[in-house]
Structure 1
Amino acid sequence: MIYKSHLEFHSTFSLIKMLSESSQDVINDYGKLLENDEGYDVIIYVSENENEKEIHAHSVILRIRSQYFRAAFSKECHEKIDGKFIFRRPNISSQLFEIILRFIYCGKIDLENLHGHNILKLLLAVNELEIQTLINNIQEYLIKYQDGFLQQNLVEILETVYQHKPLSELFDRSLKKICEEPEILFNSNKFINLKPSLLELVLERDDLLLDEIVIWDNLIKWCLAQHSNISQDPTQWNNEDITIMKKTIHKFISLIRFNHISSESFATKIYPFKEIMAKKLVNNIRDGNTNTAFHNNCDNKGDTLVVVKIKDSNQIVGGYTPLNWDSSDTLKFTYDIFIFSFANKDNLQSLKVSYGNGSANSIYCRPINGPVFGISDLYFYEGSWHSYINDDSSYLKIDIPSGFNADDYEVFQVFKK
């Protein structure tokens, strides 16, 4: 703005000052109206240490400042006694409600003297009353000035606000921090009590900085905690236990990106190859490409690693199991099992891994087959290899061909040092 004279500037400044003083007078008058109860037509009952406290207000002001009250007053069936509107908010303390009411009347709020937990409660109350300006202000205050409180209570905050869309700023900030430092959540004693929908939100994040094998271990821990009557030892499970656990874990399987596990993780986390020795049990060229040769050399040998070189290709596939192979024609299960694929044997980064989902079909021991992972997920039959993985399979698809011959395949007995 350009002023033609000092007098014009002085006049404009005086007007601004006068308007500012006038606005302050209006705010003061509204404050007095709130304190003096004059002409009130609303009674609000709030809790105070389990004892109700009666607070008075004016419907015309509440209508203007709160979407919640505006909608409530428009209902003809709303409770009234002696011509006064009646509201009951037993979940809000009188201290917090009076803070909200003063903001509604005067546009002022002081959060500095409130503890972080009370600020969070205030935010939930304001969200319930749909006062959008205050919702935004309190979220901003928590994020800017209550970082210590947020750091120490991330899990509680995440659980508290995730179902409230207007609180998305605080939720997103908390979730991002947990993805950056996942031990805050996964090492917390509150983790096993996390609601399934919230756990799903965490696991589907691409920025969750946690190895998939660690996520898997924690997911198993969480699933077991949901069924305290089921043994912590999977070898003790009956068919009913297996079915219950399968249903519990099924929806989370696709969120664990087994195929994203790096070759370094494969070597040092999925199975510690730097700390093992291996003894070759079968070489199909040496021992014959038959199911008989496999069982004669590999049955009842404990931990084994199967490695298959696909013919006319650079691809190597296979699997690991701690279970004994045998010819009993039975299914066996364990969580500590996986199949794998190197799309290019010369490129360790091409590794993809799929862990078994804990179903009863981890391996299938049949005299007419060689190794069988799942029922038909990866198996040897009559001199050739096959892989049929669908939605009901024990393993996720990792780009293994449906049928192929092998230039060579070997089975190693694995010993930990």
Structure 2
Amino acid sequence: MADNKLLPKLLQNLLDILNDEEYYDITIEVGNDPYIKIFRAHMVILHYRSPYLRRILSTNKKKNDETLTHIKLPNISPEIFQIILRYIYGGNLSLNEYDNSVIIQTLIAANELSLQELILYLQSFLIENKANWMEQNFNLMYQTSFENDTFSELQKYCTDLMTKEPIKIFNSLNFSSIPEKLLITIIQNDNLQMSEIQVWEHILKWGHAQNPELPSDITNYSKDDFNTLKSTLQQFIPFIKFYNLTNKEFTDKVLPYREILSEELFINLLKTFLSLSDPNIKPSDNLKPFGNDPYIKIFRAHMEFKGNKQTGKENNSGKQRSKKQLERSGIPPSVLASLHDAALKHLCGKDSLIYPDQTPLSRISSRAFNELRESVPNLAPKQCLK
């Protein structure tokens, strides 16, 4: 049986080789002017530890015994290469002693040198230990993770955060620096776990941040001010689901900004919301691509039927209508039952909404359900305790 107690001495000896001034056989010029440093190393170690360096060394063999091999790595800073070199020789890193930005630079350098083991290790370390920092610096993390397919774990982390906890991104200190394209990618996600009014308010916040010269009080806006904000936010408007706001939300939060909406959209919204007698009712969603989907309507009917049944509303006028609609759909009761269970888990905050892929109802996204759930408030909260 191997005794790991012998490893520390071996690793220390390998690190000591870095300071050897007699047996090194390669010099590495790292960085760009004026920040250049020459490192001494050993080809045999570099050859076996880094596929990238192995390829370089194969094309830079010594011409004779008197000439050292010399290679250049201009894309890596001396500080970062020192960290990488200690890993190559010693096989470990103490990341807690480094700033977060240094860890990110080390990850990028590890990718250039094809150090797959280190890439996986650094990604895991960031996710497990630096989640709060990554949320506050989401723009940097997103751009870094998608620069190369090698950073698959960080890509998954960013995608999950965008979908399941977008409010953390929107509340981050660097929210205003998020590029337009990335922000659009976030808000157009049908599985976004945010209310529509939150999306609208944060888009406005982002728009104001891009134009700090605008008055803080909208009542002081001039025509030019509205045009400036309209120009900034025009790419976002198609992805805001205004028809999923309540009458009160529309009146308080959207109406003051009517000048940044197209005339056609504003008139349609105004007609719709003026027709609502209850300020807390949401109009039919005529903008969402799934708003008139027949399967959405079937699921809504199912949920309304279950909600009425659970609360004992046997005489509810919608019960029979919902029941008939379900019967006409031809969807097996067992499938609807599994959908109902999934919906309850999501409603109780215990799970994301996942539907059976073998049914057309798999088209109902989590974001769609967030909007449908308002139709079934009678799904008893007591079930969340089970």
Output the amino acid matched with 2:177.
N
Q: Secondary structure at the match of 1:166?
A: coil
Cα deviation code 1:133-190 (max 9, x no counterpart): 1011111122223344445444443344343332232243245335444343334463
Q: Which runs of 5+ in 2 are unaligned?
A: 289-386
Q: Give the whole-Å Cα distance in 1 for the aligned partners of 2:200 and 2:6.
A: 64
Q: Give the whole-Å Cα distance in 2 for the aligned partners of 1:229 and 1:335.
A: 27
Equivalent position of 1:88 in the other structure: 73
Output the amino acid matched with 1:161.
S
- Structure showing the higher helix proportion among its residues: 2
Q: Give the whole-Å Cα distance in 2 for the aligned partners of 1:69 and 1:255.
A: 47
Contact 1:44 1:56 in 2 (8 A): no
Contact 1:42 1:85 in 2 (8 A): yes
Equivalent position of 1:379 in the other structure: none
Aligned with residue 126 of structure 1, among 84, 89, 110: 110
Contact 2:246 2:282 in 1 (8 A): no
Q: Give the whole-Å Cα distance in 1 for the aligned partners of 2:128 and 2:53.
A: 30
Cα deviation code 1:222-272 (max 9, x no counterpart): 457667899995833899x79x939x734x45544456x2xxx32332235
Equivalent position of 2:249 in the other structure: 269
Q: Give the whole-Å Cα distance in 1 for the aligned partners of 2:68 and 2:258.
A: 77
Shift of residue 221, structure 1, vs aligned partner: 5.4
Q: Secondary structure at the match of 2:98?
A: coil
Output the amino acid matched with 2:285.
K
Which residues of 2 match residues 256-405 of structure 1 at below 5 A? 256-258=240-242, 261=244, 265-271=245-251, 333=263, 338-339=268-269, 351-354=284-287
Cα deviation code 1:314-333 (max 9, x no counterpart): xxxxxxx979xxxxxxxx84
Q: Give the whole-Å Cα distance in 2 for the aligned partners of 1:143 and 1:36.
A: 36
Shift of residue 70, structure 1, vs aligned partner: 3.2
Cα deviation code 1:2-54 (max 9, x no counterpart): xxxxxxxxxxx4xx34xx67876764553343331523223232479x64222
Shift of residue 353, structure 1, vs aligned partner: 4.7
Q: Give the whole-Å Cα distance in 2 for the aligned partners of 1:237 and 1:170.
A: 39
Number of residues paired by the alignment?
A: 270
RMSD: 4.6
Equivalent position of 1:164 in the other structure: 148
Q: Secondary structure at the match of 1:158?
A: helix
Q: Give the whole-Å Cα distance in 2 for the aligned partners of 1:203 and 1:151.
A: 17
Establish whether residue 236 from structure 1 lines up as the match of residue 224 from structure 2.
yes
Contact 2:35 2:78 in 1 (8 A): no
Shift of residue 98, structure 1, vs aligned partner: 1.9
TM-score by length of 2: 0.54
Q: Secondary structure at the match of 2:18?
A: helix
Q: Give the whole-Å Cα distance in 2 for the aligned partners of 1:142 and 1:222.
A: 27
Output the amino acid matched with 1:351.
S
Equivalent position of 1:401 in the other structure: none
Residues 70 and 206 of structure 1: CA distance in aligned 2, closer, same or farther (over 3 Å): farther
Q: Which runs of 5+ in 1 are unaligned?
A: 1-12, 274-302, 304-320, 324-331, 356-417
Cα deviation code 1:280-299 (max 9, x no counterpart): xxxxxxxxxxxxxxxxxxxx
Cα deviation code 1:374-414 (max 9, x no counterpart): xxxxxxxxxxxxxxxxxxxxxxxxxxxxxxxxxxxxxxxxx
Output the amino acid matched with 2:94.
D
Which residues of 2 match residues 58-69 of structure 1 at below 5 A? 58-69=42-53
Contact 2:175 2:206 in 1 (8 A): yes
Equivalent position of 2:41 in the other structure: 57
TM-score by length of 1: 0.50
Output the amino acid matched with 1:105.
Y
Q: Give the whole-Å Cα distance in 2 for the aligned partners of 1:234 and 1:170.
A: 44
Establish whether residue 34 from structure 1 lines up as the match of residue 14 from structure 2.
no
Contact 1:30 1:105 in 2 (8 A): yes
Output the amino acid matched with 2:73.
R
Residues 116 and 236 of structure 1: CA distance in aligned 2, closer, same or farther (over 3 Å): closer
Which residues of 2 match residues 62-211 of structure 1 at below 5 A? 62-74=46-58, 83-89=68-74, 91-94=76-79, 96-177=80-161, 179-188=163-172, 190-211=174-195
Contact 2:47 2:54 in 1 (8 A): yes
Q: Give the whole-Å Cα distance in 2 for the aligned partners of 1:151 and 1:322.
A: 32
Residues 21 and 192 of structure 1: CA distance in aligned 2, closer, same or farther (over 3 Å): closer
Output the amino acid matched with 2:224.
Q
Residues 192 and 150 of structure 1: CA distance in aligned 2, closer, same or farther (over 3 Å): closer
Contact 1:40 1:56 in 2 (8 A): yes
Contact 1:182 1:208 in 2 (8 A): yes
Q: Give the whole-Å Cα distance in 2 for the aligned partners of 1:103 and 1:156.
A: 25
Q: Give the whole-Å Cα distance in 2 for the aligned partners of 1:235 and 1:334.
A: 19
Q: Give the whole-Å Cα distance in 1 for the aligned partners of 2:113 and 2:119.
A: 10
Contact 2:145 2:155 in 1 (8 A): yes
